[in-house]
Structure 1
């Protein structure tokens, strides 16, 4: 072992001794490439039976809790539909810090749920008899479904003739159905732990389809959600709350893997010395998604008002434009130091943005690996 280490060190520090000519180097590179091609990817040798078969089942008590949750939400919405006020909403529907926090929660949770399944997606796909590419397809259906849902949800509301009660109903119904999919998918995945490989593959693609449908339903609320925020938020506060919304998205993406680590520790419980089956873990991931989304649904449904102050979008825009015209300052009228500071601020922002996006991409790749 020592001689091998010495020879490797010698090769590293003395390239002339390692390769007598460029042809030798080319030959070695071709041999390495041929070996990599013959061996296949790192996951090539992994089979469904290579993973743990320890199963942690979803208990009956948890299912009863899910039914009670939906019962309470249904009773609350029946109360609101009969003319009552949502529990935490203002009677006049005006803007408030609590309402804005509800919007921030709405931006935070989707990114938590999307990144929550990333750490286990590869092992789950392999345990179900699929390839590493299939795990990427499963993750990719989420944003695609949300995009399709956003396009479909545009028809549900009209900003020029805004109906707040109808928009709130769209949110509760579409997002409520999205939440319902999570425990259903979790039970479906859990039931497939002991099935044959062929059956597991069918379940895998059925789950991909159900995930797509669930994200379509979740995406349908985006246009009503954004329009509602635009109408409720005062023009002077939009920059501030927009920045917090972006921070909520980034924090949600970071919090997903952290929540998975906590969930994994909770699920393993008495099986701390053994690895839990990736299939069973994925079912619990969907249960985790359910609890996060259920918390959002209950909170936002209690905060969103059924009416908002009657403000014409065109009149509001004209008022904002007139105010901006009075406050508009040309860069040329600023001092030389102020103009220089503006340029440096733009440079700092450009660097920070590139580094942040690169860090998120690298973190995603590391999680998938």
Structure 2
């Protein structure tokens, strides 16, 4: 689906747009805490937010692509409330709805709507961080959270989304909350991460800061890394093996699928044993300061973080390579594959995947 063409043809008319995205009808069933959302359910709030987007003074100065990304993010920013909203101690709450909402949107945009990947991920990032302009002041390390968000999020659009998220609701302290959102803008500007990612002295300093090593962001840490580990990322059949054959000839490869075959282990069993063998091989290469490729799906952030910590301990440069093909192409390839992966398994991977974080983007 060409979302840019679609929204232009619909002239950003909410009523016409939601006819295409039937999932949004579910928003009507999701109640909100009247203390913060006197407008009622998520559908009514979403309609108001989208209306406020079009009223923005900044709207006419945005590029067409920015308009598409901002409006679509507004349309889906509370999608996570569909699965997270519950009543607790007499209060309606929706814990982690932004993080889970980003994954829900990614699943729909990839599997159902087939959005362009770059637009999809910019929208997903805005959904994930849409509460940051309002709640950033409560973070323990404000600078770190804003600088990290700016690596994958358009902070200018995030600010506008945060502002409209407030304008599109009925609550008593709206004026005070809007001041906080404006402070988000000025704070990010002072940090140097509002109009784009913060500039570091070199890539190594950036990597150390974003991985939480608590280095000063203005420092220039000498990069003494002498070799590289390449970590592949992508769904099964996305083309990881082909990429390695075409682009990484001669580099040693640790393949979790190959280890399973060697040990005759089913893909659904003994994750620990396969991982232990793979990590043992990795440590051998690291001790010899020999570059290698780690070939697996690596779709979960916690698994990638283990690899980052291991490689960082040996002073090695880590490079992530993420590959993707359209969903229909993925299923066609799967149907032709000898080692068939059930579609239910693939869909579950898509629902739970964590896209590359700031420190994983090279």
Q: TM-score range by the shorter chain?
A: under 0.3
Structure (1/2) with the larger helix percentage: 1
Structure (1/2) with the larger strand percentage: 2
Query: Could you state the TM-score of these two structures normalised by the residue count of structure 2?
Result: 0.22
